[in-house]
Each structure stands twice: as C-alpha cells, then as structure tokens.
C-alpha cells in the first residue's frame, strides 16, 4: 500500500504557488515542500485541515491510496 501526495496537482489546478499556500496556512515552506514532493512519512490532521481549508478541497483531493499489487 502506498499513499501518494497530489498536492502539486491541486496547486497547479488552483494556479497557486507553494509560497502562497505557506502564507494562507502558516505552515512552513519546508513542511509543505515535503508534502508536495511525496516525501512525507506522516501528516498531522491539523496540517491536512489547514491545507484543505486554504485550497477549498477535501483530503482525498490531496492524498491518493494506491493498493499493493498481489
């Protein structure tokens, strides 16, 4: 099982730069960059909440579940 970040796609669709998301959420550029590139090992609900609020989206718009192939 893999969880993939689609934050880069959502930002592109909203025509928003990562720095603008930093300003809207107060989350550090480093943390959002890690989430955007898919290198995050975990995501706090508060972070997910702030990102979804700023982007006016749902958590499923940002995160994608990819099951293992059997």
Report the domain count for the chain.
Answer: 1
Say which CATH number the domain at 27 has: 1.10.260.40
In the block, tokens 């293992």 appear at 68
Q: Residues 13-31: what's their mean pLDDT?
A: 98
pLDDT at 37: 96
pTM of the model as a whole: 0.91
User: Containing domain of residue 50, as a range?
Assistant: 2-66
Question: How far apart, in whole angstroms, are the C-alpha atoms of residue 63 and residue 4?
Answer: 6
Q: What is the mean pLDDT of residues 21-41?
A: 97
């Amino acid at each position: 099982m893999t969880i993939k970040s689609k934050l880069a796609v959502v930002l592109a669709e909203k025509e928003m730069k990562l720095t603008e998301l930093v300003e809207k959420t107060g989350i550090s550029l480093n943390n959002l960059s890690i989430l955007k590139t898919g290198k995050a090992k975990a995501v706090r609900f508060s972070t997910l909440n702030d990102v979804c609020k700023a982007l006016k989206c749902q958590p499923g718009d940002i995160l994608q579940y990819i099951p293992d192939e059997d």
